[in-house]
């Protein structure tokens, strides 16, 4: 059966576990996507005299611009076409492709070239032996009197800060603030009456027992996390992987996005941050390269192990999580949410598999 959504598919194997794919989306197909793009873009456009979503096409294009409409149409078309080509050509693509649109105009075919990483050859270390060795190590966790006291004082200090803030509000203070420091003598007394306001506790002893239990549980979780890190670092060190450059570049971009988000939260601009650290963005990319390579190798290793062990997250559980994230971030792309959710859950299942090896 001939696919009518794309033609002239050409593939070329590149060095470094990468493939180049070029194809054409016929004019009549991209025109259909242009109609869909207009509908999506016009859904929230307001023009005097017309309801949202009911603006005439010529006015809508004049308001939005044809280039923006065609760009959206191209993105929608490629989101459908590219995965079909990868499956039909039996290309074991991983990660997100780098797509370059070489021809895009109203009434004309869409032409594009995509470069994608493919699953490289992996000489995987004996992860079962490594995980079993690390997770079988016995550790004893205990809570010291000092740790318990510090935690209890922290809880008392938090309550004192909340009380001080509420007192300001009650007094009519225009801009109440949470005090940064509370003197020890101003902390609420740790007695039965106080702990009863914190939950289902009757006595100080009940509360201290629960706090101690929580501290112990936190220590155990940190112990497991430490073993997870030790395990994956050993597996990465003992495995041989030809890592595609595209995957490294994508990890570097993720690191940059995270950094920019953190900078934005402080109210600082990226160019100001770069001046402060005395580096260009290219120099930072070079600094991040070892971490990016480590992340890329880790994900390939976890993917390979999940296939070998037939580890797959529950489809219904994934869908529930996707729906929840979509409600919180309605503008986010659902396919990206799904990939993120499936990857996160699959990775967690692989780590749980590592942990289970300690009892075998």
User: Hey, CA dihedral for 87, 91, 94, 98, is it positive or negative?
Assistant: negative
Q: Where are the domains of the chain?
A: 7-119, 120-241
pLDDT at 53 exceeding the cut of 70: no
pLDDT at 125 exceeding the cut of 60: yes
Query: What pLDDT score was predicted for residue 197?
Result: 95
Q: Residues 248-275: what's their mean pLDDT? A: 90
Residues 6+ apart with CB under 8 A from 228: 351, 354
Query: What pLDDT score was predicted for residue 180?
Result: 84
**Pure H helices in 239-280:** 245-265, 270-277
Tokens matching residue 5: 């959504």
pLDDT at 115 exceeding the cut of 80: yes
For tokens 């490294």, name the residue: 248
pLDDT at 43 exceeding the cut of 90: no
User: Hey, CA dihedral for 195, 198, 201, 206, is it positive or negative?
Assistant: negative
Percentage of residues in the chain having pLDDT higher than 70? 96
Three-class SS of residue 297? helix
Query: What pLDDT score was predicted for residue 1?
Result: 43
Contact 148, 212 (CB under 8 A): yes
**Pure H helices in the chain:** 27-42, 57-64, 66-88, 127-135, 145-170, 192-196, 204-238, 245-265, 270-277, 281-308, 315-328, 334-356
Distances (CA, A) of 231 to 26, 120, 123, 305: 50, 22, 17, 13
Query: What pLDDT score was predicted for residue 40?
Result: 83
Which one, of 322, 348, 345, lies nearest residue 335 by Cα?
322
Q: Residues 48-60: what's their mean pLDDT? A: 69
pLDDT interval class at 82 (50, 70, 90):
very high
pLDDT interval class at 313 (50, 70, 90):
very high
pLDDT at 221 exceeding the cut of 70: yes
How far is 262 from 264, CA to CA, in rounded Å? Answer: 5
Region of poorest pLDDT, from 69-73, 85-89, 93-97: 93-97
Query: What pLDDT score was predicted for residue 51?
Result: 66
**Lateral strand order in the sheet of 110-118:** 7-14, 18-25, 110-118, 93-103
Q: Per the CATH hierarchy, to which homologous superfamily does domain 7-119 belong? A: Trigger factor ribosome-binding domain (3.30.70.1050)
Contact 113, 100 (CB under 8 A): yes
Query: What pLDDT score was predicted for residue 214?
Result: 97
């Amino acid at each position: 059966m001939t696919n009518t959504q794309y033609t002239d598919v050409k593939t070329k194997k590149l060095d470094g576990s990468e493939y180049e794919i070029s194809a054409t989306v016929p004019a009549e197909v991209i025109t259909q996507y242009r109609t869909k793009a207009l509908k999506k873009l016009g859904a929230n456009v307001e023009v005097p005299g017309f309801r949202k979503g009911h603006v005439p096409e010529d006015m809508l294009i004049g308001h939005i611009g044809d280039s923006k409409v065609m760009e959206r149409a191209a993105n929608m078309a490629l989101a459908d076409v590219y995965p079909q080509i990868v499956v039909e050509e039996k290309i074991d693509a991983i990660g997100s492709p780098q797509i370059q649109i070489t021809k895009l105009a109203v009434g004309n075919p869409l032409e594009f070239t995509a470069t994608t990483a493919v699953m490289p050859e992996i000489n995987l270390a004996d992860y079962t032996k490594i995980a079993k060795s690390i997770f079988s190590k016995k550790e004893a966790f205990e809570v010291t009197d000092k740790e318990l006291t510090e935690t209890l004082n922290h809880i008392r200090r938090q309550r004192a800060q909340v009380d001080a803030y509420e007192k300001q509000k009650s007094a009519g203070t225009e801009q109440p603030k949470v005090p940064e420091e509370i003197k020890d003598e101003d902390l609420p007394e740790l007695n039965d009456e106080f702990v009863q306001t914190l939950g289902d506790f009757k006595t100080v002893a009940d509360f201290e027992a629960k706090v101690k239990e929580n501290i112990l549980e936190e220590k155990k979780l940190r112990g497991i996390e430490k073993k997870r890190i030790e395990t994956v670092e050993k597996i990465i060190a003992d495995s041989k992987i030809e890592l595609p450059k595209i995957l490294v570049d994508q990890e570097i971009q993720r690191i940059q996005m995270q950094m920019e988000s953190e900078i934005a939260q402080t109210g600082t601009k990226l160019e100001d941050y770069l001046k402060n650290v005395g580096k260009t963005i290219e120099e930072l990319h070079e600094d991040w390269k070892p971490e990016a390579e480590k992340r890329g190798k880790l994900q390939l290793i976890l993917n390979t192990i999940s296939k070998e062990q037939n580890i797959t997250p529950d489809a219904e559980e994934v869908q529930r999580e996707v729906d929840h994230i979509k409600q919180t971030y309605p503008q986010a792309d659902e396919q990206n949410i799904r990939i993120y959710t499936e990857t996160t859950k699959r990775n967690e299942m692989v780590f749980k598999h590592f942990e289970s090896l300690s009892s075998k």
